[in-house]
Amino acid sequence: MRTRFRVIVGLVLALSLIAAACGDDEGGDTTAATTTQATTTTAATTTTAATTTTTEAATPLLIWADDTREPVLTQVAAEFEAATGIPVNVELVGFGDQRNNAIQQNPTGEGPDIFIGAHDWIGELTANGVIEPVDVGSRGGEFFDTAVSAFSLDGQLWGLPYAIEAIALYYNADLVPTPPTTFEELITICDDLGDSVEQCIGFPSGDAYHHYAFFGSNGGYLFGFEDGVYDAADRGIDSEGAIEGFTFLDTLVKDGYANPDVDYGAMAALFTGGQAAFMWTGPWELPNVQDSGINYGVAKLPAINGDTAVPFVGVQGFFVNSFSEQKALAQTFLLDYVATEDVMVQLFELGQRAPAHIASFDKVASDPDVQAFGASAADGQPMPSISEMSAVWGNLGDAVAAIYNQTADPTSALQTAAEAVTAAIEGSG
Amino acid sequence: MADLDVQDDQTTAGDDAPEQQVRAGAGFWVKVIGLALFDAIVLAVIPSLIEQGATVALISIIVGTLGINFIFLSHRTYAYRWLVPGVVFLTILMVWPIIFSVYVAFTNWSTGNFLTKDQVIEQLTEGGLSLIEPDDAPTLDMLWFEVAPGEFKMLVRNPDTDELFYGSPRTVQDPIPEEIVLDDLEAAAVVDADGDGLPESIDGVEAINTFAVAQKIPDIDSFILDIPGGEARARTLSTARLAQTRFVWDETTEVMFDRLNNENCTEVDAAFSCAGDRINPGWREVIGFGNITKVATDPGFRDPFVRVFTWNVIFAVVVVAFQFILGLGLAMVFQDPKMKFKRLYRSLLIVPYAAPAFISLVIWRGMLNRSFGQLNRALEGIGSFFGLLDLEVAIPWLTDPFWAKVAVILVTVWQGVPYFFLINSGALQSIPKELTEAARVDGAAAPQVFRKVTFPLLMVSIAPLLIASFSFNFNNFLNIFLITGGGPPLTQYAVPVGETDILISFTFDLAVESGRGALYGLASALTIFIFFIVATIAAFSFRFTKRLETIYGNL
């Protein structure tokens, strides 16, 4: 009897709570329910005409952005909502997390409608089918060719490019009045400075991306590239030019100009602390350098072995989730609201990455830093975007580390890397 | 609450208890309300689960909730009330991930094979991933007209030719029609007052404002208007692209047809293969023992696996041995009554254990830097203090294979010594003084007492903790990842692996940056191996401690 009493009390209470809970939820749930209903109705009656139930509250667009874009996009989102009545939610997601999060969450419906990434992710993102081509139509000419071709794969444009970046040479203007144009000049400056600086040139040791300039400048290449298509079977990781460039790097390490103990963090700290005359990195470090108050300048990368330096060029842009329910709306947002001079310039001001949008670039081109990074990028090569690239990063990084640690000579380091890449791409079993 | 409840139940053991006992205590009401809240939350979740079609989750949640209600409301299951939360969390946090990892180990889940087959088919046949687009395809202007409430027609305009096409769109799921059916605009009353080539109204129906389109037709992406030259589908809210769906899926024969090459596709390695090309994306499927045999037999994985395993065992054994010996030594020093400032030393000793590993490990990484790290500088300082002036210490802690191993062991030992100091202190105090005194009386010297009496008794309580510590350090991902990141790299293998990688960090590298994208299937297969290795070691060790207990436990 007692038990029964308890059961009854419990059930009554539970039911009353449920009723209360459902009552509150009603407002939120109806939209979802009507949308589903709308879809089914349209499917059933299309022979006569497309029918759909009018829903007053539009589903908001969701955008993932990191801290260098989030404030600008939040502002654009507000403008978009004011003009259209469609809310846009901007969620702060770290740049490095976006690729894996998108791959995992887009197919489950948890992903954003729009996210931001680098062009070299495209191979992996398309292999997993999580991004949709972005059709800029006749507006392709508004962007630099480099940016458009970097975002293209298999004849499709996979995102809206917005910024081009490449590494350049930061110099401490108090120590170095005129920046060097060749490595010979650079070394002379360093020898003159002697012990007045802790480490004359800061390289982020062991990093494949930053050291591609050595790899590529004397003719080294990763994959054959012809007519806009990469040939993954033609690999030049241990090509003569690559070995020549890395031998030059090897000499720098041996002579102490490149220090294996300076990693990215140490490099930035040395330069902003006035303890390094030069720093070898990209525009993303610019806000940090400016905050440090150091008298800096940026110059084009110096010639390596007498050849123009060829750094990696990275292009960043907006991707549309292929599982999004609102792809047309997402594209409207990108093409009509983001791909405008105003927004592109604002994005530049916050992140200091040179705009890929030509008109916006022209607006900010008078900035000497932009000119220097632009000049470096103009001589650069876009990072290959094919999915085989993921086999290169780690192995090329290992080769750079081996040279820094002096555990292998450049030839054998690159040959080992080439073998490992071949094994990874061709699948060693 | 607990106390009240217990009394309540004990005093009324049966249903035939007097009626007045029904007056329940506060505990009872707390329980009822708590349970009701729980049920309400579950019931609130159920509709969304039904909507998502998550059958397994739905059934397990319903069964679990009913079970919990029964256990909490029934007398007979009283004892299980306190077990239930533990079991529930064990299932969610331990059992389910294990089952899932095992499942993943038997699939080809990896870059290029992330989606389910249904998702792949949907993407290829309905999405914009694989459209055939003529090179000079124009971007069409697009307008929508609501001809009847909830009934829409689509109008597109080719800006190059000024041609207008107007009609009822179909959805992407509908079959591609044999012939194009469009409305005749010649016969309709088309009003284009501003002369921009786009009508403001057709037959008295006004065009929908661009942004109202998004609200009125939220599923605009799924409509297609067939016009001469291809299919017009919304690109933005006001423009359409002209393209052709490349793939058509035949539900009955389950064959994918490729309209570009006019032939059926085959299925190769969990992806469609059309005219010899693999079509991305592929799908994930169960592939049986493929991953497991690969780990076991493929020299590309087996060789680094064996190498990593060997170092892994050395790492765990050496670390635990040093942690234990140093911790025991410290504990014995603190046992000495002559020791001063015990409390101060003890507080300082706890620091490595109490400090968040994320912070202390990153600081260690900086301190280990060859040129800029404090450790080498400190060694130099010590060197010059002892008269070895101008000694330049440049130990490559992080970049040399040998020193990197020393570094990770050093830091991990530093981190774990306080723990062993604490438990050894406790265990030493619990050893009866009479036993050691009796041994001394019998004429044993101090080392002998320690070896024959103290240590064996200590092991009875410490041995299981040594095993636990071994298992923990065997899988000490954080230390390896944050101190050396597995490096310096071992370049002779095709898979990414470094000198200080242990199995779990090796697995992590394989899962996220294998050089072939993410290889979740293979990484999961590796974790199964790791599980069996750790389980075997633990089983042997426990058998050994049991023997210790039977020998010394009676003392």
Per-residue pLDDT reduced to its tens digit, A249-296 = 999 999 989 988 888 888 999 999 999 999 999 998 888 899 999 999
DSSP string over B109-138: -BTTB-B-HHHHHHHHHHSSTTEE--TTPP
Asked if residues B326 and B412 have their Cβ atoms less than 8 Å apart, the reply is: no
| pTM value surpassing 0.90 | no
| pLDDT at position A22 over 60 | no
- Whether A332 has its CB under 8 Å from any CB of chain B: the answer is yes
Cβ within 8 Å, pair B111-A408: no
Query: Do the chains contact at A427 and B516, CB–CB below 8 Å?
Result: yes
Point out the residue among B173, B281, B515 whose CB comes nearest to the CB of A390. Answer: B515
> Cα B541–B543–B548 angle (5° rounding)?
90
**Number of other residues whose CB lies within 10 A of the CB of residue B147:** 19
Question: DSSP readout, A299-338?
Answer: EPPPBBTTBPP--EEEEEEEEEETT-S-HHHHHHIIIIII
DSSP character at residue B192: -
A85: which chain B residues are within 8 Å (Cβ-Cβ)?
211, 215
Hey, are the CB atoms on B112 and A423 less than 8 Å from each other? no
Residues A352, A286 contacting (CB under 8 angstroms): yes
- Cβ–Cβ below 8 Å for B120 and A22: no
Lowest mean pLDDT among A19-23, A52-56, A162-166: A52-56
| A411 and B CB contact within 8 Å | no
Q: How far is A289 from chain B, CA to nearest CA, in Å?
A: 21
Contact A38 B17 (CB under 8 A): no
CB B50 within 8 A of CB B58: yes
Query: Which chain A positions have a beta carbon within 8 Å of B205's beta carbon?
Result: none
Give the model's pLDDT for residue A32: 39
Q: How far is CA A331 from CA A73, A272, A335, B151, B384, in A?
A: 15, 40, 6, 24, 67
| B151 to A50: CB separation less than 8 angstroms, yes or no | yes
Reading chain B (555 residues) residue by residue, the pLDDT tens digits are 344 444 444 444 444 444 444 455 777 778 778 888 888 888 888 888 888 777 888 888 888 888 888 888 777 877 787 888 888 888 888 888 889 999 999 999 888 888 899 899 988 888 777 788 777 778 899 999 988 888 899 999 988 888 899 999 998 888 888 888 888 888 888 888 887 888 888 888 888 888 788 888 888 888 999 998 888 988 888 889 888 888 988 888 889 998 888 899 998 888 899 888 888 889 999 998 988 888 888 887 888 889 999 999 999 999 999 999 999 999 988 887 787 888 888 888 888 888 888 899 989 988 988 878 888 888 888 777 776 656 677 788 888 889 999 999 999 999 999 999 999 988 988 888 888 888 888 888 888 888 888 888 888 888 888 888 988 999 999 999 999 888 788 877 777 788 999 999 998 888 876 566 778 888 899 888 888 888 888 888 878 777 777 766 555
Contact at CB, A398 and B491, closer than 8 angstroms = yes
Instruction: Among B49, B170, B202, B219, pick the best mutation site for testing chain A contact (most A Cβ within 10 A).
Output: B219
At A185 the pLDDT is: 93
The interface residues of chain B toward chain A in range 182-201, judged by CB-CB distance below 8 A, are none
Name the H helices within A340-409: 341-351, 358-364, 368-378, 389-405
Q: Nearest-CA residue of chain A relative to B168? A: A49
Please name the residue of chain B whose CA is at the shortest distance from the CA of residue A404.
B399
Domains and CATH numbers, chain A: 11-165+313-382 (3.40.190.10), 167-312+385-428 (3.40.190.10)
B111 interfaces chain A, CB cutoff of 8 Å: yes
Domain boundaries, chain B: 20-105, 132-247, 298-552
3-state secondary structure of A52: coil
Q: How far is A380 from chain B (nearest CA, A)?
A: 24
**pLDDT, tens digit, 9 for 90 and up, residues B453-485:** 888 888 888 888 888 898 899 999 999 999 988
Residue B441: count of CB within 10 angstroms of its CB: 9
Contacts of A41 (CB under 8 A, 6+ apart): A51, A52, A53, B150
Sign of CA dihedral B46, B47, B48, B54: positive
pLDDT confidence of residue A34: 38
Residue of B129, B139, B392 best to disrupt the A interface, most CBs of A under 10 A: B129
CATH number at B20-105: 1.20.58
Q: Does A25 touch chain B (CB under 8 A)?
A: yes
Residue among A337, A316, A265 at smallest CA distance from A98:
A316
The B residues from 338 to 397 touching A (CB cutoff 8 Å) are 369-373, 396
Question: Which chain A residues are within 8 Å of B24, Cβ to Cβ?
Answer: 6
d(CA A208, CA A225): 20
Q: Give B192 to chain A, closest Cα distance, Å.
A: 23
SS3 state of residue A101: helix
Determine if the peptide bond prior to B281 is cis (ω within 30°).
yes
Architecture, CATH, for domain B298-552: Orthogonal Bundle (1.10)
Q: What percent of chain B has pLDDT over 90?
A: 18
Site from A1, A6, A262, A275 to mutate, B interface, most B CB atoms within 10 angstroms: A6
**Interfacial B residues in 206-265 facing A (CB < 8 Å):** 210-211, 214-223, 234-239, 241
Name the residue of chain B whose CA is nearest to A427's CA: B516
Q: Say if the Cβ atoms of A39 and B219 lie within 8 Å.
A: yes
Chain A CB contacts of B149 under 8 Å are: 54
User: CB A58 to CB B487 under 8 A?
Assistant: no
Residues of A in Cβ contact (< 8 Å) with B281:
126-130
pLDDT exceeds cutoff 60 at A194 = yes
